[in-house]
Amino acid sequence: MTETVWTSSGTTAHEPKFGDYVELLKPRVMRLVIFTALVGLLAAPVGTHPVIALASILCVAVGAGASGALNMWSDWDIDAVMDRTSRRPIPSGRVERGEALAIGVTLAVFSVVMLALFSNMVAAGLLAFTIFFYAVIYSLWLKRATPQNIVIGGAAGAFPPMIGWAIATGGVSVESVLMFALIFLWTPPHFWALALFRNSDYIRAGVPMLPVTAGTRVTRNQILIYTLLLVPVAVAPAFSGIGGPVYLAGALVLNAMFLAGGLRVWRRNDGDAAADGYRVEKRFFGFSILYLFLHFVLILAEALCRLADLSPAGWPRPF
């Protein structure tokens, strides 16, 4: 797979460690994917054998890793000029581009086939579509083409709980669509907050992020618009099969805080942001990660309540 080049200094060029390959799979993204897929699986009304559940979730994780490797293969030139990504395995010279492509394609095929064998065709089909959407539609096309890149590309990150639900139930339902919508609408405010304080990175790399193409004022407006759209969607699962009073209470608090953060970001301008080193934007970005994580913790808490028979029988569930 690799060719060793001995140099005059006695060191070698390009001889990756196993950890370099692991890094290619974006383990941090993988963790979030595993968590949301697992919550989707556990929130489903149908039980799954623990061994099947473990094997299936691992397939989803490997599929996410394959997407990460394919993303690093396609974005090598962007990654090289951005501070945040310049130490990734390809731009730092630890892994060759061709290797990333080979690993990405192999793991993508392997994860989809194994998921079809371990669970069902619906889950495998959703995983295949997710990998295709992230690697081809987002990474190869949208990211370099439109400032709406992360709005549409956000769908790729929103599929894992839907896949988890499909592993357990073999289908798609209102509950899994609501979990999808939660991540889908959360993505734009999350990434645009990051883009506000990483603007120079994106300008240097020539990526048409919204602050680059439309300016920071429009970006702040869009962050608020998407936050307003997100709030009702994030509260709605409380009145579905995966929600309940615990979810409602938690979601109300989290969404009030998120909305307040969105308003603070919206009220500011570049002068305010530069004066305090984008403190509010960075705080909003950091809280957005906790916000999403806690919503899925709440869904998990509701699943445990149902398991322990603690869910109120008369709870309204119009969805």
Partner 1 sequence: MRPDSHEIYGRRRSRNVGLGLVLAAVVVLTFAVTVVKMTSGHNMEAFDHQQRTSLLPKTDG
Q: What is the DSSP letter of 6?
A: E
* Closest distance of CB 38 from partner 1, Å: 16
Q: Least distance in Å: CB of 2 to partner 1?
A: 8
CB of 11 to partner 1, least distance (A): 8
Q: Does 15 bind partner 1 (CB under 8 A)?
A: yes
Contact between 98 and partner 1 per CB under 8 A: no
- Answer for which of 3, 18, 274, 309 binds partner 1 (CB under 8 A) is 18
Sign of CA dihedral 162, 167, 171, 173: negative
Interface stretch with partner 1, choices 15-23, 125-133, 185-193, 229-237 (CB under 8 A): 15-23
> Under rule CB under 8 A, which residues in 117-146 are in contact with partner 1?
117-118
C-beta of residue 141 within 8 angstroms of C-beta of residue 190: no
318 interacts with partner 1 by CB under 8 A:
no
DSSP string, 33-94: HHHHHHHHHHHSSS---HHHHHHHHHHHHHHHHHHHHHHHHHTHHHHHH-TTTTTSTTTTTS
Name the minimum Å distance from CB 142 to partner 1. 32
Question: Does residue 8 bind partner 1 (CB under 8 A)?
Answer: no
Least separation in angstroms between residue 226's CB and partner 1 is 39
Stretch binding partner 1 (CB under 8 A), from 114-122, 189-197, 210-218, 258-266: 114-122
Least Cβ distance, residue 58 to partner 1 (angstroms):
7
Decide: residue 105, CB within 10 A, 0-12 exposed, 13-18 middle, 19+ buried: middle
Q: How far apart are alpha carbons 260 and 280 in whole angstroms?
A: 11
Q: Kindly write out the interface string for residues 42-81 of this chain, putting x where it contacts partner 1 by CB under 8 A and - elsewhere.
A: -------x-xx-xx--x-----------------------
**What are the beta bridge partners of residue 5?**
13
Q: Residue 89 and residue 76: Cα distance in Å, rounded?
A: 9
- Is 18 or 308 the residue whose CB approaches partner 1 more closely? 18
Using DSSP bridges, classify how beta strands 12-13 and 5-6 pair: parallel, antiparallel or unpaired. antiparallel
Q: Which two tokens stand for residue 307?
A: 């398991």
What is the C-alpha separation between 147 and 259, in angstroms, rounded?
A: 23
Contact between 116 and partner 1 (CB under 8 A)?
no
Site for partner 1, rule CB under 8 A: 4, 10-12, 15-19, 21-22, 49, 51-52, 54-55, 58, 114, 117-118
